[in-house]
Structures are given as structure tokens and as C-alpha cells.
Amino acid sequence: MSLQIYIDGKYYDKKDAKISVYDHGLLYGDGVFEGIRSYNGRIFKCREHIDRLYDSARALTIKIPISKQEMIDALYDALKTNDLTDGYIRLVVTRGVGDLGLDPNKCPKACVIIIADKIQLYPEEIYVEGLELVTAATPRNHQEALNPRIKSLNYLNNILAKLEGIQAGVKEVVMLNLDGYVCECSADNIFVVKNGRIKTPPSSASILKGITRDTIIDLALAGGKEVRETNVTRYDLYTADEVFLCGTAAELLAAIKLDGRVIGEGIPGPIFKDLLARYHKMVNEA
């Protein structure tokens, strides 16, 4: 059986899963989404993802046509329908079908799409050896222009930064905010380790307040590590003992080089390895 895609309560074969060309999610990037992992048939941090989705939609005044519990039930049903236990769910809510104008009031009902599939963003050796980064010239959007805490379908800011990485021959980039502080990568949050202490940019630094990021902070604190949410500069990255990234799709990755400069010993460090082991243990027991 081919992959089955959920659209507004019905399933369609992958090749037949379509939305209208008048959907404002397509025309204007007007919508929100979540990327969610399942492990052993259980959706990891499901409630947190759903809460963030509904908060993002509320910030855009999109009314999601089903309740949170109905959405959770639909996620599990999509996994079951596609015979997935360890999978990746892309949950999308668009503004819905309207006309060619901007007016969201012309879109009477939001569209809900659930894609349950598998994902691997990076080759296996990256997870073992670490990855190289460059600093993107493209700055992060000002948070009052498009707040990155809204996980919207408009990802051009991230894509432009990602293109710089591709052109530089690396798989991920560091993005700075308009004040010059490190905020995040194109698709991942970032952590810095120096003298056993962990720092990560605060939510006020134009970042997506990642669910995996918050999980890593909790794991580090539970392991007796000091964690500070504070402004981070490129100097902090250049002189760090360790740098690592996290995100739902990527999970955890060590960064071993930035802008051609070796980070620490140039290999994944002990704090990263400890947190990676703790994370894997958590997701498999959740």
C-alpha cells in the first residue's frame, strides 16, 4: 500500500494527495506546521507539539477546525494507517481556500494535513563524526516582523540561509539576529559548552523555542549541568569546548567546525555524548 496522506479527515494515496491552488498556504505561506517524532509507536512530546501548533495558529488568527484531542487522535491514526511505529509526522494547517487577494477572511475554513512518513536529514557519519557550519550573511527575521515562535509555513528566511550553506559546501549554518547575536541554525537550535557550563540563546533572541531544545535543557539540568539562556556571540562559538545542535527531525548533532575554525578538539565532546545517550534513553522509554 502506498503512503496515505490525511487531508481534512480523509486519506489519499500520496500521488493523489492534493490541495487547491487557491489555498493561501500555497499562495502566501499562510499557515502553520509541526514536525513530530514517534518512537515505538508513541508520539514524543505530543501535547507540547499540539499546544505550540494551536498557539501558532492563534497568533495568526487561524481557527483550527478540530479540537486538540481530535488532532492527537488523528496523528495516531495516521501512524497506524501507514503501519509506522518509528516515524516522522508533518502536521500542516493552512489558512484554507480563498481568492487571489490577501484577505484571510476570504478563506472560510482552515485545511488540516497530516503526513506520517520517515525522515533522515543527515547521513549517518555526520551523527558520529560531527558536522561543519558557516555563519550565514542572511540575518534572522526581526521578531516583530515575523516572530519565529510562530512556526509558520513561511520559511524563506531559513531557506535563504540554508542556500548559503549549500553554496559553501556545508549542511547547516549559524544565523545571527539583527543585533549580531547568534540565534539558531536554519533548522536547529544551538548550544555552547565552555568549562562544563552550557549556554543557549534565549527566546528573546529571535529563535524558535524548540521542544527538543527545552527537552535538552531539562536533561542537562537533571544531569547536574549548569544551563544559561543568554546572548551568545560568534566568539563564544569559536572558543567553545563543544557546540551542538538539536531539533525534532535532526535530534542531536555535534558541530566540530565553524567558518573554517575547529571547535574544541574537533570531535563530538563528552557533554554532547552524555546528552545524546540521555535523549535516546528518554525517547525510547517515553
Q: Which sequence spans correspond to the domains of the chain? A: 4-117, 124-285
Quickly state the pLDDT bin for 120 (edges 50, 70, 90).
confident
Which of 10, 15, 151, 225 is flagged as catalytic?
A: 151
> Could you tell me which of 47, 93, 53, 94 has the C-alpha nearest to residue 72?
47
**CA distances to 9, 84, 99, 107 from 102, in Å:** 26, 38, 8, 10
- Got the DSSP string for 32-54? EEEEEEEETTEETTHHHHHHHHH
| Fold classified for 4-117 | D-amino Acid Aminotransferase; Chain A, domain 1 (3.30.470)
148-187 tens-digit pLDDT: 999 999 999 999 999 999 999 999 999 999 999 999 999 9
Which whole number is the average pLDDT over 28-38? 98
**pLDDT over 70 (residue 286):** no
Whether the predicted pLDDT of 32 surpasses 70: yes
CATH number of the structural domain 124-285:
3.20.10.10
Residue 273 among the catalytic residues: no
Instruction: Note the pLDDT of residue 238.
Output: 98
- Cα–Cα distance, 94 to 111 (Å, whole number): 5
Residue 284 is predicted with a pLDDT of: 86
CA 193, distance to chain mean position in Å, is 21
